[in-house]
Chains A and B, each alone.
Chain A
Amino acid sequence: MFKQPVSSSDFDRNFRSEVVKYPDASGLSACFSCGACTAGCPIHEVFPEYNPRKLAKMVKLGMRKQVLSSPYIWDCATCHNCEQRCPQNVKFYNVLNVLKNMAAKEGHAPFCWIKQTEQVAKTGIVFPTEEKWVKRREELSLPPLKLDGKKAKKIIELSGADKIKAEDSK
């Protein structure tokens, strides 16, 4: 992945503007590819294939297909170090969220996140009601949880997140 030579004729020239029009990703235009994000990234350190600078560069070049279908965009630990290190105030965590949202709409979201959003629409939290912990709360004299997903379901529908489907293979 990412190692095949690319031809500039395959670039989608509109991809960059498509991404930066989202307020969360607007800062990306200021990126000059210094790599401070990658140098401070804990995921990159244990898994060098995950490389924020490379992803940012690919977006700027217009490598739409490669970026949105890449499994790596889902590997961020959300620690915000990249943003903390960036001399240009690019909030790469937020840029990545925009990329994930775009990828999700095109069917590339990992099943775990789709399942989790479905769960939230049922109980309002990311877990189902399980007798094991309900009972334990009782034993520990902790108040019962209400777990009503009605509000969350409505919100998820309003945002269109309920329409997102997993890739066939996942």
Chain B
Amino acid sequence: MSKYALFLGCTTPTQTPQYEMSARWICKYFGIEIIDIKDFICCGINQINLSIEAGFLMAATNLALAESKKLDILTLCAACTGALSEATEQLKDQEIRDKINNKLQTIGLEYRGNVKVRHISRVLYEDVGGERIKKGAKKDLSKLRVAPHYGCHYLKPKSAFEGFEEPDNPKSLHQLISAIGARPVNYETLNLCCGGKVFPVSEDLVDSLVQKKLDNLKNKRIDAMVLQCQTCYLMYSDRQKETNKKYGKRHNLPIILYPQLLGLALGADPVKNLGLNLHTISMDKVLEKIT
């Protein structure tokens, strides 16, 4: 049985608890033990804007906290995954590590370079595996045609992920979707960024990116978009309504996080275990197609 420190990040526990609920349920289902480390702080990715050092130190703080408990890190957010993975890569260099540890010691921490960072989807893909997922699936999802969306930081920078995926032609989420019998649909803007990281600076930029993807998915008979990051979720879900008003569009595409879709296949309670009632875009049409 694998054991991880659960890294919630900032947005999931406060804005999209349904992602956390479903992730916890999935981990329990597959016997992945998760430990909550209350001292975890923000991964630091946004602090990089003002100070690369501040962001890097924040990532290193979290790595050191996990290491002190002899645990690897399980992430939910793509951006946290990217930031923490990049930090683990850089901190393999002894010289950089010494420099960082010099500063970390002021908050009583030290990082020795022993932590792995894994996004929940990657754990499902690599450790649990398609066969076990397939075996657990109780429900028929074969009527569902869904559009996968990976999340940029889940794949890039490529150097941070030990060759896990090919960022221009990713496959793991497609396969995770296939494993539960739903049909992953390819589309032209598959790798288009949600814009979430520039949202605090410019809502307009995000809105045009969001609409571009939604326009692309229109008329493709897609039942839902399947994501693995709460920031992407908030952009495509909550901004979908906002941007519809702005652009005079009527997109009404359900947005679901992979652990929720997986939970549905495994027979979890849509409300109690997966929080589907918390979505701003109704999930009813998706649920109707699952038998």
A interface residues with partner B (beta carbon < 8 Å): 22, 24, 42-43, 46-47, 74-81, 83-84, 91, 93, 97-98, 100-101, 104, 109-110, 112-114, 116-117, 120, 124-127, 130, 133, 136-137, 140, 142-143, 145-146, 148-149, 151-152, 154-156, 158-161, 164
Are B42 and A126 interface neighbours, CB within 8 A?
Answer: yes
Are A130 and B201 interface neighbours, CB within 8 A?
Answer: no
Are A46 and B212 interface neighbours, CB within 8 A?
Answer: yes
Which one of A47, A80, A104 contacts B208 once the chains associate, using CB atoms below 8 Å? A47
Min CB distance A62 to B, Å, is 22
Residues in B with CB closer than 8 Å to A79 are: 152, 156, 193
Are B17 and A140 interface neighbours, CB within 8 A?
Answer: yes
Which one of B8, B14, B21 contacts A130 once the chains associate, using CB atoms below 8 Å? B14
Are B51 and A104 interface neighbours, CB within 8 A?
Answer: yes
Which stretch of B52-60, B118-126, B130-138 is in the interface? B52-60
B interface residues with partner A (beta carbon < 8 Å): 8-11, 13-15, 17, 20-21, 24, 36, 38-42, 45-54, 57-58, 61, 79, 103, 106-107, 152-153, 156-158, 167-168, 191-193, 195-198, 200-202, 205, 208-209, 212, 275
CA distance A159 to B24 in the complex (A): 35
Residues in A with CB closer than 8 Å to B208 are: 46-47
CA distance A127 to B15 in the complex (A): 10
Are B42 and A155 interface neighbours, CB within 8 A?
Answer: no
Q: Can you show 9 pairs from A to B with CB atoms below 8 A apart?
A: A78-B197, A79-B193, A91-B157, A109-B50, A136-B17, A137-B13, A140-B21, A151-B61, A155-B54
Which one of A76, A124, A161 contacts B50 once the chains associate, using CB atoms below 8 Å? A161
Are A75 and B198 interface neighbours, CB within 8 A?
Answer: yes
Min CB distance A80 to B, Å, is 4
CA distance A75 to B20 in the complex (A): 30
Which one of B8, B13, B157, B202 contacts A83 once the chains associate, using CB atoms below 8 Å? B157
Residues in A with CB closer than 8 Å to B57 are: 155, 158-159
Min CB distance B49 to A, Å, is 5
Which one of B48, B156, B197, B205 contacts A46 once the chains associate, using CB atoms below 8 Å? B205
CA distance A84 to B58 in the complex (A): 25
Are A120 and B42 interface neighbours, CB within 8 A?
Answer: yes
Are A158 and B47 interface neighbours, CB within 8 A?
Answer: no
Beyond contacts A77-B198, A104-B50, A159-B54: 5 other A-B pairs, Cβ-Cβ < 8 A, are: A24-B52, A83-B157, A84-B158, A133-B17, A152-B42
CA distance A120 to B100 in the complex (A): 20
Min CB distance B289 to A, Å, is 26
Are A126 and B10 interface neighbours, CB within 8 A?
Answer: yes
Residues in B with CB closer than 8 Å to A75 are: 198, 201-202, 205
Which one of B20, B198, B209 contacts A78 once the chains associate, using CB atoms below 8 Å? B198
Instruction: With CB as the reference atom, state the residue of chain A lying closest to B204.
Output: A47
Are B197 and A77 interface neighbours, CB within 8 A?
Answer: yes
Min CB distance A22 to B, Å, is 8
Residues in A with CB closer than 8 Å to B48 are: 97, 100
CA distance A120 to B39 in the complex (A): 13
CA distance A123 to B286 in the complex (A): 37
